Structure 1
Amino acid sequence: MTMTVATARRHADRQRTKRPAPNAGADASTLDVRLVARSIAQAAVEVLAGTRPALQLSRSLDAQCFLSLQHRAALTREHAARSRGTVQVHRSPMVRSVRACAISDSIYEVSIVVSEEQRSRAIAMRLEHSDGTWQVTALEIG
């Protein structure tokens, strides 16, 4: 196979221009926030499904968010008991996407899409950094 000068130049240009990595431009704190948000969102959906105890999220959520999640999980369990009567096997939810927006160095707002067996949910949360940890101060689960 022979290579013309123009073809060789295009090939060399392609070698020099690398595509940016998917998280290029995202600093370490944004990546950290996204990972924390991902695990909290998945855990919260598992709490609503009844496959994880809400107490496991007590350190990650502020008091109001924790009580709200506990209340909603109890209502979900009551509704499931009335409508089904039997426990169904539940697969773990899968986090599809996580988007973080910095409000300040210590406050981020994050949107997450989580897919379950029969539906997808949108989750919005506000994370605040204090005392070396991230804590959810607002949580909305669709």
Structure 2
Amino acid sequence: MDDLAEVRAIARSTVQAAMEVLAGIRPVHQLARRLDPRCLAALQHRAALIRRELNRTGNPALARLHRNSTVRSVRVCQVSDGVYEASAVVLDDIRARAVAIRLERSKQVWRITELVIG
């Protein structure tokens, strides 16, 4: 598999998994090997904020937030040797959102060094 196809597949699966973390149906530690520590901590913090607000308000819209997320498209471009950036469009029960990620190769392993979920 060439780098572009591999990065596209990693981006798609990582974005899907991140949305499942935010929906509360996947534990964040499953992404520990793919995300750098800062991205992992930020994702964990956002998921905790969603859970806390849901428990505090009982808002049914929050319960549906990030549910049934589907990655609709992924676009990838090479920034430099061993560095790619990707954008994805994700649909869930409530809305469509954009996700941006940066992947860097380190010791033959791709790591997500930036993860921004709109």
Q: Which has the higher contact order (CA 8 A, sep 6+)?
A: 2
Deviation, 1:133, is 1.5
Using the size of structure 1 for normalisation, the TM-score is 0.75
**Structure 1 CA distance, aligned partners of 2:59 and 2:96?**
24
* Corresponding residue of 1:24: none
* Corresponding residue of 2:15: 41
* Corresponding residue of 1:62: 36
Map Cα deviations across residues 43-65 of structure 1 (whole Å, 9 max, x no partner).
Answer: 00110111100000011000100
- Greater share of residues in strand: 2
**Structure 2 CA distance, aligned partners of 1:92 and 1:131?**
34
From the CA coordinates, give the structure whose radius of gyration is larger: 1
* Corresponding residue of 1:116: 92
Can you give the 5+ residue segments of structure 1 that lack an aligned partner in the other structure?
1-26
**Structure 2 CA distance, aligned partners of 1:88 and 1:130?**
37
Using the size of structure 2 for normalisation, the TM-score is 0.90
Q: Secondary structure at the match of 2:26?
A: coil
Q: Secondary structure at the match of 2:54?
A: helix
Map Cα deviations across residues 48-107 of structure 1 (whole Å, 9 max, x no partner).
Answer: 111100000011000100111111110010111122278957853111110001012200
Counting aligned pairs with the same residue, the percent is 50
Can you give the 5+ residue segments of structure 2 that lack an aligned partner in the other structure?
none
Q: Secondary structure at the match of 1:134?
A: strand
**Structure 1 CA distance, aligned partners of 2:44 and 2:67?**
21
Map residues 69-88 of structure 1 onto 2, 5 A cutoff: 69-84=43-58
Cα RMSD over matched residues? 2.0
Q: Secondary structure at the match of 1:81?
A: helix
* Corresponding residue of 1:127: 103
